[in-house]
């Protein structure tokens, strides 16, 4: 129970962007003539945030499912880079591994990168709860928007900017909490360079690729001098009666 409560507290900054954007998606699906069931299925299996909103426009424009699937892949291909940092961490979660992989969103990635576990909290169970809570909130918000969105007396235009505001906050927090600012500067410089060269629609993947390559080369320098902090992971007692202790930077 402590792990669940801890996980829920970590999701609070993300709950409202998920809720509002999910509702906006459900409203758009309803206005496009799709039933609430389609909004529910989209939230459950597509789970692509703002791309789902773009998907509505593509569907109403008559785009093929293949075109939509391909565009969704390229828009969300950045998650491949996110996932590289969590492969070993998720593998240790056993049967939860596939679910953790397919539900690693931008927001979940940001939370897991900054999280600090108390000694009485199960780290892996907390990671799972964080992912599950946000996924369920997204599914329910998509459904709520389709069912009750027309009853909301407010204009939801531009509500998707709440996700952008969240990432600005996360970036500021990482800048203040990290010893080295090179990762943030690397991402910023890469983004500006490729945005200037390729434009707003094609700069993300090249910028991410360059950032990853630069950070891989700089990893020994970035990690030098950092101390490992012990984080106790509460697990059922092992054969020798000792609890496992994991270490993270």
Our count of domains for the chain comes to: 1
- Would you say residue 150 lies in a domain? yes
| Global pTM exceeds 0.75 | no
Residue 22 lies in a domain: yes
pLDDT of residue 73: 78
248 DSSP β-pair partners = 229
What is the spatial distance between Cα 19 and Cα 32, in angstroms, rounded to a whole number? 20
Summarised one tens digit per residue, pLDDT across range 83-125 is: 888 988 999 999 999 999 999 998 898 899 888 899 889 999 9
The pLDDT of residue 200: 79
- Which residues are paired to 230 by β-bridges? 247
Question: Which residues, including other chains, have CB under 8 Å from residue 131's CB and lie 6 or more apart?
Answer: 99, 100, 103, 104, 108
Task: Report pLDDT for 24.
Answer: 85
249 located within any domain = no
Distance CA 172, CA 191 (A): 17
> For residue 27, what are the domain limits?
2-177
Spell out, as residue ranges, where the chain has pLDDT lower than 50.
Answer: 225, 227-249
What pLDDT score was predicted for residue 193? 92
Specify whether the CB–CB gap between 114 and 170 falls below 8 A: yes
Q: Is 118 helix (H, G, I), strand (E, B) or coil?
A: coil
Indicate whether 131 belongs to any domain.
Answer: yes
**95 found inside a domain:** yes
Contact between 163 and 50 under an 8 Å Cβ cutoff? The reply is: yes
In a domain, 222, yes or no: no
Count Cα neighbours of 104 within 13 Å in the Cβ-side half-sphere.
Answer: 24
- C-alpha–C-alpha distance, residues 138 and 125, integer Å: 20
The answer to whether residue 227 sits within a structural domain is no
Query: Does 240 map to a domain?
Result: no
Q: Which two tokens stand for residue 25?
A: 């998606």
Q: What is the pLDDT of residue 237?
A: 34
Q: What's the pLDDT at 214?
A: 85
Can you give the pLDDT at residue 167? Answer: 65
Predicted pLDDT of residue 239: 33
């Amino acid at each position: 129970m402590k792990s669940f409560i801890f996980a829920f507290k970590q999701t609070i900054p993300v709950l409202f962007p998920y809720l509002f954007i999910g509702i906006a998606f459900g409203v758009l699906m309803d206005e496009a003539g799709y039933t609430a069931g389609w909004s529910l299925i989209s939230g459950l299996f597509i789970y692509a945030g703002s791309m789902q909103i773009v998907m509505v426009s593509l569907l109403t424009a008559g785009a093929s499912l293949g075109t939509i699937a391909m565009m969704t892949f390229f828009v969300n291909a950045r998650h491949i880079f996110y996932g590289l940092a969590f492969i070993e961490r998720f593998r240790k979660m056993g049967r939860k591994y596939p679910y953790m992989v397919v539900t690693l969103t931008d927001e979940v990635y940001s939370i897991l990168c900054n999280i600090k576990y108390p000694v009485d909290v199960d780290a892996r169970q907390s990671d799972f709860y964080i992912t599950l809570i946000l996924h369920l909130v997204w599914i329910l918000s998509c459904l709520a928007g389709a069912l009750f969105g027309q009853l909301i007396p407010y204009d939801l235009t531009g509500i998707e900017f709440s996700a952008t505001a969240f990432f600005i906050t996360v970036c500021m927090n990482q800048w203040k909490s990290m010893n080295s600012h090179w990762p943030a500067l690397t991402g910023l410089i890469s983004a500006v360079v490729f945005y200037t060269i390729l434009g707003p629609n094609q700069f993300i993947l090249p910028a991410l690729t360059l950032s990853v390559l630069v950070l891989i080369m700089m990893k020994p320098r970035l990690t030098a001098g950092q101390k490992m902090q012990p984080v106790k992971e509460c697990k059922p007692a092992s054969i020798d009666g000792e609890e496992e202790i994991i270490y993270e930077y």
